[in-house]
Amino acid sequence: MTTSTTPDLLAELVDAAREQTERRRSTVPMAALERQITSAPPTRDLAAALRAPGLGVIAELKPRSPLAGPLTDRYRPAELARSYTAGGAAALSVLAHEAGFGGRPEDLATVRAATELPVLRKDFIVDEYQVAEARALGADAVLLVIAALDPARYAELLRYAETLELSVLVEVHSAEEAEVALAAGARIVGVNHRNLRDFSIDLGLTGRLRPRIGAGRVLVAESGVRTPADATRLRADGADAVLVGETLMRSPDPEATVRALAAA
């Protein structure tokens, strides 16, 4: 499926995630995933990793972006994971969405084997199958995007992830979405500075939403973080961590770039 830079991009990405899920379910049924989960290792605590002193960096691995196109001509997940870990990342985010980002769920297992850090499945999750698949492949956490789910469905997926001992990063882009996230009990909230409908970036959103999210929850600032100065600003605005993708994927020295962001 080809994505486009139109206001329907979010809907296209969600539709592609559904198609991917059905295709994979037809090959590996849910019962098989559940058997794999019984022998999966314990999950690593994402919230604890992000609460460590200083600004946490969730370093992202993705071959391409539906907006920016290819980000690298040499995608080596294990190698990147080791570089990010050496640079002082707090956790790793792995794109598992095939059509829009060129990722694969199998990359979760590759990255898990290359690091001791918590590993997040970054995707448009709409089905319990994706959550179970993440756990079976070694992920420690999953992303739920409020804009892609109605409140009842979001709450169901959050609860299901928790039964599998997965951490959940809940992504919001407005005060209204933050209220939905918190009402169901979100403990780690990601503020996406990018509007997925017009693609604008608003780095000030983290500071405006921090009071609503509350000091007791972990806040992750997402999208548009390009420099240590951006990271410093977001830390001052109350972010516990930043999630950084394109900047790292384009960096000639991702280890050094992670280190500079983490020192902000």
Q: Which residues are catalytic?
A: 60, 62, 122, 171, 192, 222-223
Distance CA 231, CA 173 (A): 18
Identify the burial level of 109 via C-beta atoms within 10 angstroms of its C-beta, where 0-12 means exposed, 13-18 middle and 19 or more buried.
middle
Bridge partner list, 48: none
b/e map 15-43, b = 16+ CB within 10 Å: bbbeebbeebbeeeeeeebeebbeebeeb
Distance CA 219, CA 248 (A): 21
Contacts (Cβ under 8 Å, ≥6 apart) of 116: 44, 85
Find the helix packing angle between 128-136 and 9-27, rounded to 10°: 60
Bridge partner list, 186: none
164 and 184 Cβ atoms separated by less than 8 Å? no
Quickly tell me which residue has 């002082």 as its tokens: 88
